[in-house]
Amino acid sequence: MQGLVSAEGLSRGGSKSERLLRFFPQERPIFAQLFGASPFAMAAAAQQVEAMGFDGLDLNFGCPEKKILRVGAGAALMADLNKAEAVVGAVRRSVKLMLTMKIRLGWENQRTFLQFGRMAEDLGLDAVILHPRTVAQGFSGQADWDAVGQLKHAMDIPVVASGDVRDGESYRQLITRTGCDSVLIGRSALRRPWVFEESLACGRGEAFQPPALPEVVLRYLALLEETESEEDRFPAARLHLLQFLHDLPHAAALRAKVGACHRWSALKDLMETQFSRLEAS
Ligand SMILES: Cc1cc2nc3c(=O)[nH]c(=O)nc-3n(C[C@H](O)[C@H](O)[C@H](O)COP(=O)(O)O)c2cc1C
């Protein structure tokens, strides 16, 4: 999934929005994700997404970031079913793409996800993705997997669950407990990018051997070099390397060195020295 992109920004021709929506053929099937509060802007942006060749589009009604809530978009729409319905209806009428929406349980204590699910089904969406926390919870507390099961039970269209999958075993448990059709993995992918392969292997009942960390780090740097401009490479690399190294025991000094790098070349040298040594040993 590419995004999260502002519908207003995209329809104004913003270069940031277009950059966020760049994708490679090997990433197919690929969805874009839009946020916005105006049915008109969302429908116009959806047509642009369709023209860019995406396979599908997800409408974000789950993001609790302040700058998105402030414009009445993202998770703010969980507090206004009528407005959300106007957005979904306008987008559905304007494109033929596969269309999904990502929701939360509700704004605070009012759990409105079943009404949102019904609305999605009535308006002809192709699936609903539920992150089973309220907007007020943000990312804290446990994801309510029982709510995923409830939504699945109430819906004919596919339900995708998102929340608290850490590894293959939790992926398997989420599917078994809820009957959901598919799973979306967020935070654990930052530290364990092999979690997708691990989950699929576990779902098939197969053993999985995680790749060695040096292999992950060096491959990630090579991919960045292939695909990103020099300007974009460095901030992405620093952020992600700190995540990859998070669970490595006794790596505080190495993480501090990563944090102290200010240039791509310095970061790359540091990793190559560190991990070539580890690979050789
Ligand atoms: C740093 C970060 C960025 C995220 N960005 C998006 C996003 O752009 N779109 C989206 O729908 N969800 C986004 N999410 C939410 C995740 O997709 C997911 O629903 C949530 O983190 C719960 O799943 P998890 O426990 O697997 O992380 C983001 C989460 C985090 C932590």
Q: What is the pLDDT of residues 256-266, one digit of tens each?
A: 999 999 999 99
Residues 244-256: tens digit of each pLDDT: 998 888 889 999 9
- Condensed to tens digits (0 to 9), the pLDDT of residues 212-225 reads 999 999 999 999 99
Half-sphere exposure of 273 (CA within 13 A, CB side): 9
Catalytic residues: 63
Kindly list the protein residues whose Cβ atom lies closer than 6 A to any atom of ligand 1. Answer: 3-4, 33, 60, 62-63, 102, 131, 139, 162-165, 184-188
Residue-by-residue DSSP string for 221-238: HHHHHHHS-HHHHHHHHH
Dump pLDDT digits (tens) for 222-235: 999 999 888 889 99
What is the mean predicted confidence (pLDDT) over 109-127?
A: 97
Side-chain half-sphere of 63: how many Cα atoms within 13 Å?
23
Q: Which sequence spans correspond to the domains of the chain? A: 2-164, 213-280
| pLDDT value at residue 15 | 83
pLDDT for 184 beyond 90: yes
Closest-CA residue, ligand 1 atom 26, reads 186
User: Are 97 and 50 within 8 A, CB to CB?
Assistant: yes
Atom of ligand 1 nearest to the CA of 166: 26
> In angstroms, rounded to a whole number, what is the distance separating the alpha carbons of residues 79 and 113?
11
- One of 3.20.20.70, 3.10.520.10, 1.20.1250.20, 3.30.110.40 is the CATH number of 2-164, namely 3.20.20.70
Arithmetic mean of pLDDT over the chain: 94
The whole-model pTM stands at 0.94
Q: Which atom of ligand 1 lies nearest, measured to the CA of 33?
A: 9
